[in-house]
Chain A
């Protein structure tokens, strides 16, 4: 009976948390549509989330593309289908691995940093100070970050796709003996614009979720270093799980027919 009660409490707690995060998301969208808009904070967030995430997203994509080429080659060799390497690397990177791994890397880098920054602002009364200075913290802190991530992550995904395909190309040509021109032609022939477009749409959704979770957990951070630490961890875990769940739903939506 006690175990059942504990399970019930856990379920209710989880549902309440989902509800609170949902209200936070709607409030963010509401503030996004109403002035004022803080352009300077938006520009800073765009640099922090987009530009400074390029190295980590690029490296992730490069090594993933290379490993993917090796895996597809090894698997394809079992039924004499090695020639599918360029097309599967390109489609796999653009549709799935580019947005998902890029999103997860951004979640690790950005959700944690946003949650830690806003959480620290909360425990040092900087959020209260904003309010006393007639500035809405949702508009000043959350909206610029969420919008910047929603716009920057699709671009990161696009760049990551190109770097990942390049990683596959380098491994394919230098390690697996593909002809360079044939590899590129095969990639171009089979890669459709919607493969890249769908990955970028996924990127926009993942970017929104990452920044939203960072801001939500930062704003609801507990007291002291431990509270900020917990908020940071919760932001990364929530953003990662939401990315994987949203990825499944979007894949169903885009490619199930």
Chain B
């Protein structure tokens, strides 16, 4: 379970998070929605320790994330996570299989090279990519294939928690559907706790068990995906219907 209590983060005068309170139950898929620049990515980065909040407490299974900021503790903490980045963030200098098996080729989870390659190919197959892709470089792949490789990398070391940052941004509707389906299947199959941030309402309905809306540095609404349409919150209502008129200013 991931618990955030009164989390604050500012960049200079820009107070991005102003007291976030949120609980993500173990084994559930939480999707965070909200406009661009509302701090959704910052929220994920705070949990991972890539960004340090000024105030508040973040716990993963009751353990304060702040305690795992350095050394072996941090490695063990991060080993519990997998993350799919918005642009996939594949390492250009490594082949596809080396990207997927990155964690398996070094550090505490290091495996023999041949074994790591076999696992990478297996994970590539799981996300619908053929073994021939394994020896290509990321630059030789389409955007959709890169996202799939990023997904394979996120699940390669069997994490307990997976973060998905804008998983369908920049993809055509069919490829978005494929990625959404894959994420849902993997989350259910692996029984992981998932947090996804997205603007894409199709993704929300395909991936989420629960939804939280971030606006103005606060969680405006949180509830089951089935309750989203009847949230009664004007901010949520405007966002999910994509209306220009409403309490959310269209020019930010």
- Residues on A with C-beta less than 8 A from B74 are 134
Q: How far is A125 from B108 in the complex, measured between Cα atoms in Å?
A: 23
Contact present for B87 and A44 (CB under 8 Å): no
- Residues on A with C-beta less than 8 A from B49 are 131
> B104: nearest residue on chain A (CB-CB)?
A133
- Residues on B with C-beta less than 8 A from A133 are 78, 102-103, 153
- Residues on A with C-beta less than 8 A from B82 are 132
With A131-B48, A133-B102, A134-B75 as contacts: A125 and B87 at CB distance below 8 Å: yes
**Interface size in chain B (residues, C-beta < 8 A):** 25
Q: How far is A129 from B87 in the complex, measured between Cα atoms in Å?
A: 11
Query: Which parts of A117-140 form the interface with B (CB within 8 Å)?
Result: 121, 124-126, 128-135
Query: Which parts of B98-152 form the interface with A (CB within 8 Å)?
Result: 102-103, 106-108
Q: Is A36 an interface residue (CB 8 A)?
A: yes
The answer, among A44, A121, A134, for a CB contact under 8 Å with B108, is: A134
- Residues on A with C-beta less than 8 A from B81 are 132
Contact present for B75 and A129 (CB under 8 Å): no
> B45: nearest residue on chain A (CB-CB)?
A128
Contact present for A128 and B50 (CB under 8 Å): yes
Contact present for B89 and A131 (CB under 8 Å): no
Enumerate chain B interface residues (CB-CB to A < 8 A): 45, 48-50, 74-75, 78-79, 81-83, 85-87, 89-93, 102-103, 106-108, 153
20 chain-A/chain-B pairs, Cβ below 8 angstroms: A36-B107, A38-B106, A44-B93, A125-B89, A126-B91, A128-B50, A129-B83, A129-B85, A129-B90, A130-B91, A131-B48, A131-B49, A131-B50, A131-B78, A132-B48, A132-B78, A133-B78, A133-B102, A133-B153, A135-B107
